[in-house]
Amino acid sequence: KSIVPTADLQSFTEYLRGCKRIVALLGAGISASSGLPTFRGAGGLWRSHDATSLATPEAFDETPGLVWQFYSYRRHMALQADPNKAHYALAELARRNEDFITLSQNVDGMDVRQVVLAFAFLSNKSLFLSGLSQRANHPVKQLHLLHGTLFHVKCTNFYCNYTEDNYTDPIVPALEIPKKSSGLNPSATDKTGEQASKAIGEALDDTSTEVDISDASNPIATVAREDLPQCPKCEDGLLRPGVVWFGEPLPEKTIGAVDKWIAAGPVDLCLVIGTSAKVFPAAGYVHEARSQGARVAVCNMDPNDTPGELHYGDWFFQGDAGVVVPEILR
């Protein structure tokens, strides 16, 4: 049974059928459907820290160990998450319509150029390595990662330009997520030594045995600066995640490509999915599309999280993006 009101669904699908130029702005809510945490509201706390307070150059300067623990945890989670039905529905829309672009604020993916390389060189492995939208087979030319990716790292030394793609989990041993005691002891069981070590190996591979370090009641060790990822080129700077923090510019090429697409003609429809639309310049694209005459369709769990006010002719679809998006794009 559909959770989307029939009248809204009908008027939306009729309008969608006539649309040529469509832009979707994605936020953490779409990945929440795949089990990844959001930034604001419920789920916006990492240990006792507001997630947005860790996403700043100042936080990295002051407490690089804590900030790396936060990002290392998120890299680990993103590598294990699977795309959900919303990612697949958007990928399908992109395949049907070359004039549809997705602007993702999420960093669980990788740079478009690198996805192409990964597909060429790694074949099946790339399915594991790339981000949620890419793994749902979203055409890469139509996908723009506004806030970078967790799997790109760069040197913090102003005079060094070192960058690399890095999927190693953990990126350095000091950032390994501790395991709970498995409770298995080969000598205390009636298993053979081989059976017991296999059971222990399985238990150690099982993420459910990991300590949930996002929960502040579980203690974590302080990681010393010298144990954090170091730049192999200048051998002086720390490496940092290649994401866009507050106060930093968005990737120039990405913004250039998006601005060119926006300028190429009026946008008919703007989908705003799982984002509080509070962060600029990303949220500004909704206003820009609207100023060109686009109608706006918002999908969010929270009816109060909309980009400014909804206007006459806009739609609000309340619910889990993983359920609502495939329904409205069917």
Q: Which residues bind ligand BJW (CB under 6 A)?
A: 27-29, 32-33, 38-41, 44, 52, 55, 105, 107, 147, 243-249, 274-276, 278-281, 299-302, 305, 320-321
Min dist. Cβ of residue 126 to ligand BJW (A): 22
Position closest to ligand BJW via CB: 29
Q: Which lies closer to ligand BJW via its Cβ, residue 53 or residue 185?
A: 53
- Taking CA atoms, 112 is separated from 36, 59, 108, in Å, by 21, 28, 13
- Residue with smaller CB distance to ligand BJW, 199 or 301: 301
Structure-block tokens of residue 148: 């970078």
Long-range CB contacts (within 8 A, 24+) of 51-55: 52/246, 55/243, 55/245, 55/246
234 labeled part of a ligand binding site: yes
The secondary structure of residue 86, as a DSSP letter, is H
| Short-list 46, 23, 28, CA closest to 106 | 28
270 is in an annotated binding site: no
Q: Select 42 or 117, whichever has its Cβ closest to ligand BJW.
A: 42
CB of 5: closest distance to ligand BJW in angstroms? 17
Clarify whether 152 is annotated catalytic: no
d(CA 223, CA 165): 23
Nearer to ligand BJW, 40 or 295 (CB): 40
Smaller CB distance to ligand BJW: residue 13 or 318?
318
CB 54 within 8 A of CB 74: no
**How far apart, in Å, do the first and last CA atoms of the chain sit?**
14
User: Of 163 and 209, which has the nearer Cβ to ligand BJW?
Assistant: 163
Q: Which of 76, 138, 144, 147 is catalytic?
A: 147
Which own/partner contact pairs does 207-214 have at CB distance under 8 Å and 24+ positions apart?
A: 207/80, 209/179, 209/180, 209/182, 210/177, 210/178, 210/179, 210/180, 211/177, 211/178, 211/179, 211/180, 213/47, 213/69, 213/73, 213/177, 213/178, 214/37, 214/46, 214/47, 214/73
The least CB distance from residue 30 to ligand BJW, in Å, is 7
Query: Minimum distance between the CB of residue 78 and ligand BJW, rounded to whole angstroms?
Result: 10
Residue 105 near residue 272, CB atoms below 8 Å: no
**In the complex, minimum distance from the CB of residue 262 to ligand BJW, in angstroms, rounded to a whole number:** 17
Strand spans (E) along 60-129? 100-104
Instruction: Give the count of alpha carbons within 13 A of 30, CB side only.
Output: 32
Rounded Cα distance between 315 and 295, Å, is 8
Q: Which residues contact 98 (CB under 8 A, 6 or more apart)?
A: 142
Least Cβ distance, residue 120 to ligand BJW (angstroms): 27
- Report whether 299 belongs to an annotated binding site: no
Q: Which residues are annotated as a binding site for Zn(2+)?
A: 155, 160, 231, 234
Q: Which residues are annotated as a binding site?
A: 155, 160, 231, 234
Residues labelled catalytic? 147
